[in-house]
Structure 1
Amino acid sequence: MSCAAGGAPVHPSAVEDLSARVREALSRLTALWRAWENLRLDPALGMSTWWLHHAKPHLQDLLDADTGPLSACSPEGHTAYAYPPLPLEPADPALWLSPAFSAAPPAGSAGDA
């Protein structure tokens, strides 16, 4: 028996565990999407609430290299070993000058009257 992505043969109990892990990942991603769709409409605290109370905990669990539901998945199939963390590069400092990070309301908003 092989995993869903067509990888190397694995024990049937591992496939059952993989199936549960995939269901957990899909459930968490669905919860993230639903929370985003609701909170993106809140101009005051929506983004902060989403990042702190939804994105961070779910992504932290989903991407945990040791215990997350995606910890041993790859495009080639399920593996016995986790992959190393993705590389991290610092953001361009100019990014923080974007109007999206400004405290001023956007031009043409109700605050301009």
Structure 2
Amino acid sequence: MIAALDHVQLAAPPGSESALRAYYVEVLGMREIPKPPVLAARGGCWFEAGGVRLHLGIEEDFRAARKAHPGVRVTDIEAYAERLASRGAEVVRDDDLPGHRRFCSSDPVGNRLEFMERNDGGG
């Protein structure tokens, strides 16, 4: 039986870990969590905030996920969008999902991320 979603993995090109850390920690406000040593040898990095876990794995023949994306629920979406914009991240608003406010941004390697909040403020 499925109980929960443990994490979402996105790909990244070799050598991008510093840029990923700057974006996911400093821009998004996530914290980096250590990878087990056997997996750390492969490169990449893992991040979490609240119940959200994102793994960035190194892929030699990297192509950014421009359509596929994690959808991350946030609180106070306007303040969060301002946080990203004030740190130089693109914020692309989209009002097409009934009952939600949302925007998209891309990480430094081009992966799409969607941030959303229900209109009733329920996250």
TM-score (norm 2): 0.25
| TM-score normalised by length of structure 1 | 0.26
| Greater fraction strand | 2
